[in-house]
Amino acid sequence: MAIEALSRLRTQAFIDGRFTDAASGKTFSTENPATGAVLAEVAAGDTADVDAAVRAARRAFEDGRWSRLAPAARKTVLLRFADLVEANAEELATLDALEAGKPITDCRDIDLPDTVKTFRWYAEAIDKVFDAVAPTGPDALGLIVREPIGVVGAVVPWNFPLLMAAWKMAPALASGNSMIVKPSRLTSLSAIRMAELASEAGLPDGVLNVVPGSGSEAGQALGRHMDVDMVTFTGSTEVGRQFLHYAAESNLKEITLECGGKSPQLVLAEPPDLDIVAEQVLFAALVNQGENCSSGSRLIVHESVHEALVERLVSGLAAWTVGDPLAPGTRIGPMIERPHLDKVLGYIDAGRREGARVVSGGGRVLEETGGYFVAPTIFDGVTNDMSIAREEIFGPVLSMIPFASEDEGLRLANETAYGLAASVYTRDLDTAFRVARALRAGVVGVNAYSEGDITTPFGGYKQSGFGGRDKGLEAFEQYTEKKTIWVTLR
């Protein structure tokens, strides 16, 4: 399948319903992080290409062929799009596995089904959401209606290339907007293919444009564009902050940010079955090789169960095979690129230097492949002031922080600049609810690691998010303006 997916590869920008080279003629290389080999040369979009895409998106929005279509008609097209994504799932999964180094089984079993579900769910939802009538007296009729916001820029990361784009595309398109998607320069291929499938499904030209290119050029051009009405961003907190500057320095476009995390997994004194806890903890820390915004990278564990849990975690690592992402047994692929590998190894060194103890892993593996693999790594004896406890590593590294009382555990869990996700493990229902309420995070899993599903909103407290939520009906809030229509009755 890898060869087949590559033989059909599209590498140009998709603007106004057509594939096109970058106006500058420039390209950039995308590589396979499992081998270090170049996969393809992709159009390097910049300001000129973003301008062209915004013009096409604005034209499409104004002509109303999508924006003023009845919701039920938009639903039909989006359901067809979902069917096409499903029909091409193997190809799309392979593109993400090759470019992002994600295990193919995760791409097939998680990313693709979730992407299809996302499109189906928003397609089905859009003709079932109602506007509101204000409780006026008999002299007036106050309608509160939602309208699509207009031209939406979506800037997305490389860790879930397809799914992160889908979380933006599905509610934004269902609401009637036009879009320009800027994928990460490390993973452009599946987004480009998606634009082609959307067009095949009947999305009018100009409604969905994909401009590959670097963040500093294409991303910034979208953020600063005077005719983009909003940007929805997923990525690091640092770059998210840039988008607030871009908006402030341009047209005050709306900005929503889904940013980084350093999510705690809080295991209290009386946890459920420790085998299950260990399995969940490892999944939270290692899925997607830890390159996951909601990664449960801090394990805050009561001293009474600490030793027993360490034992189970170490033996549970046997199930986490590191290797070729295209091999069916692989659960941990390579880090996305060489600089990221160096960053993750740098954190592992810092953990050792700052006095934490490596219980397992602790270095690069499979170097002979040319890929950027890191052994799943568990640190014990971590304290909250160490860099491995404070900063987002975005790799397969778990930091164990022991504690003695529930108050202390909760304080340690909340002592972070981030607030994306958290988990609490306890057999006591009252404690579970009390602690779930007290954790300062957008999603709290009880006795499991979970981001919820498409029906529930996803986003962060504190420096993990700003301005809106992905998923759930709440996502429609991001992509619509509210208008009051006031009718005076005589």
Q: Does 47 bind ligand NDP (CB under 6 A)?
A: no
Name the segment binding ligand NDP (CB under 6 A); options: 42-50, 67-75, 252-260, 316-324: 252-260
Q: Does 293 bind ligand NDP (CB under 6 A)?
A: yes
Q: Does 122 bind ligand NDP (CB under 6 A)?
A: no
Cβ nearer to ligand NDP, comparing 242 with 384: 242
The binder of ligand NDP chosen from 57, 100, 174, 259 (CB under 6 A): 259
Q: Does 209 bind ligand NDP (CB under 6 A)?
A: no
Q: Are 132 and 141 in contact (CB under 8 A)?
A: no
Burial of 12 (0-12, 13-18, 19+ CB in 10 A): middle
Q: Does 158 bind ligand NDP (CB under 6 A)?
A: yes
Angle between helices 89-100 and 112-126 (to 10 degrees): 120
Residues of span 218-247 touching ligand NDP by CB under 6 A: 219-220, 223, 234-236, 239, 242
* Residue 288: Cβ within 10 Å count: 23
Q: Whole-number minimum distance, CB 25 to ligand NDP, in Å? A: 19
Alpha-carbon distance 109 to 104, whole Å?
8
Name the segment binding ligand NDP (CB under 6 A); options: 73-81, 149-157, 191-199, 428-436: 149-157
Q: Are 132 and 179 in contact (CB under 8 A)?
A: no
Pairing of strands 140-148, 480-488: antiparallel
Q: Does 420 bind ligand NDP (CB under 6 A)?
A: yes
Q: Does 392 bind ligand NDP (CB under 6 A)?
A: yes
Alpha-carbon distance 148 to 127, whole Å?
14
Name the segment binding ligand NDP (CB under 6 A); options: 197-205, 213-221, 277-285, 402-410: 213-221
Q: Does 157 bind ligand NDP (CB under 6 A)?
A: yes
Burial 433-462 (b: 16+ CB within 10 A, else e): eebbebbbbbbbbbbebbbeebeebbbbbb
Alpha-carbon distance 24 to 13, whole Å?
12
Cβ nearer to ligand NDP, comparing 255 with 299: 255
- Contacts for 444-448: CB closer than 8 Å, 24+ residues apart: 445/421, 447/272, 447/276, 447/277, 447/280, 447/423, 448/280, 448/423
> Which amino acid makes up residue 41?
E
Q: Whole-number minimum distance, CB 235 to ligand NDP, in Å? A: 3
8-state DSSP, 200: H
91, 196, 258, 291: the active-site residue: 258
Q: What are phi and psi of 70, to 5 degrees?
A: -60, 140
Alpha-carbon separation of residue 282 from 252, 278, 350, 415 (angstroms): 42, 6, 22, 22
196, 254, 293, 392: the active-site residue: 293
Residue nearest to ligand NDP (CB): 215
Name the segment binding ligand NDP (CB under 6 A); options: 5-13, 19-27, 107-115, 210-218: 210-218
Q: Whole-number minimum distance, CB 54 to ligand NDP, in Å? A: 15
Q: Is 258 a catalytic residue?
A: yes
Residues of span 451-490 touching ligand NDP by CB under 6 A: 460
Q: Whole-number minimum distance, CB 223 to ligand NDP, in Å? A: 5
| Catalytic residue ranges | 258, 293
**Binding residues vs ligand NDP (CB under 6 A):** 155-159, 164, 182, 184-185, 214-216, 219-220, 223, 234-236, 239, 242, 258-261, 293, 392, 394, 420, 460
